[in-house]
Amino acid sequence: MNLSYREVKGKKSELTYRYYISSAKLNEVQLAEAVRAHWAVENSLHWVLDVSMKEDACQIYQNHAAENWSILRQWSLNMLRAEPSKGSIPAKQKRAWMKTDYLEDVLKAGFSSRVFEN
């Protein structure tokens, strides 16, 4: 169990209990690190894929299509991140959709940074 207390200026204080289930034999510090590592992945990859590319709303399930589309989304996210201009992922997507020269920049950055390696 994790107990957290949060104060936000101008709002009521909030006490939250969080429960975690694991078969791993971890002490408090190790469990906290494992939870932080899990949420780091969730926030940097899965949340971005869902918000910017609507991954959770995808209705493609036939054969390997869902897995293939997931890989394509991850590649495109990596390419957008590799392109060095400032802007959010959705802003970069929109710019690439509207401007062919920017799309070429994204593709060049993506292929030159080897986004396809694991």
pLDDT per residue as tens, the chain (118 positions): 556 667 778 888 887 787 777 788 888 888 888 888 877 776 667 777 777 777 777 777 788 888 888 888 888 888 999 999 999 989 999 999 999 999 999 999 988 876 555 4
Does some domain include residue 105? Answer: yes
Per-position b or e across 13-24, b if 16+ CB within 10 A of its CB: eeeeeeeeeeee
Task: Say what the pLDDT of residue 115 is.
Answer: 54
pTM of the full predicted structure? 0.59
Does some domain include residue 8? Answer: no
Q: One-letter amino acid identity for 80?
A: L
Does some domain include residue 117? Answer: no
Does some domain include residue 19? Answer: no
At 69, phi and psi to the nearest 5? -65, -35
Strand partners, 2: 18
Task: Say what the pLDDT of residue 84 is.
Answer: 92
Domain that holds residue 47: 25-112
Do 75 and 48 meet the contact criterion of CB atoms below 8 Å apart? no
Does some domain include residue 4? Answer: no
Does some domain include residue 69? Answer: yes
Does some domain include residue 10? Answer: no
Task: Say what the pLDDT of residue 3 is.
Answer: 61
Does some domain include residue 48? Answer: yes
Task: Say what the pLDDT of residue 12 is.
Answer: 83
Which has the closest alpha carbon to 52: 30, 18, 85, 79? 79
Number of domains in the chain: 1
**Run of H or E residues at 34:** helix 28-41
